[in-house]
Homo-oligomer: A and B are copies of this chain.
Amino acid sequence: MTSPIEFYFDFSSPYGYLAAQQIDQIGLGFDREVAWKPFLLGVVFKTTGAAPLLNIPMKGDYARRDLPRSARRLDIPFVLPEPFPFMSVAACRATYWLMDRDAQAGKAMAKALYHAAFGEGRAIGDPKVVAEVAAGLGHDGADVLAAVQTPEVKDRLKREVDTAVAKGVFGSPYIIVDGEPFWGYDRLEDVSLWLESGGW
């Protein structure tokens, strides 16, 4: 039994959105599960001193060009939601809450949230929008709104973020294959090659 590919991402990370369109397909190609692990990049930024990408002079302008260009290359929709960046706490909590009841439902929720944010420009920083997205998948929106405020779910996310930081996850997307870390949407080809070759 092989261990799953760990796919760390922040819901507010547009490059995470791009990677999210491809990571399951990569796992499938090598018969490997993909564990989707939303976390809060802002917590890590306190350690690295990094700032949200689009707020950085010059680099932000470039990203506003590179992101839609990269999305066009993948032939997927891309909209930068307003406000941006946004708080992804409710989205993370809702995903883990669903995931703990049904792994596939949790993954479907993560995909739907990413699509709502960067495919449709919806404000998933708002817990009410998170509940709407959940309702669109057949869940009870009110249950979701209640769940994300429980100490258990808050604590669940906190533990995931702590684990991510302990593993050295400092960016989004961040993918770990058998202990080997790959940072960035641009490393997906390396991820595939690593899975294929077992490393080099």
Contact = CB atoms under 8 A, between A and B. Distances in A.
Contact of A56 (B48, B56, B69, B200): B48
Interface stretch (A17-25, A128-136, A186-194): A186-194
A184 B59 CA distance: 12
B58 A168 contact: yes
Contacts of A187: 66, 186
Work out how many copies of this chain go into the complex.
Answer: 2
A61 B168 contact: yes
Contacts of A51: 49
A114 interface: no
Per DSSP, chain A at the interface is: helix
A5 B181 CA distance: 32
Interface in A70-96: 70, 72-73
A64 to B, nearest CB: 12
A47 interface: yes
12 contacts: A44-B58, A47-B57, A48-B56, A49-B56, A57-B170, A58-B168, A58-B170, A66-B182, A69-B200, A73-B200, A184-B186, A186-B186
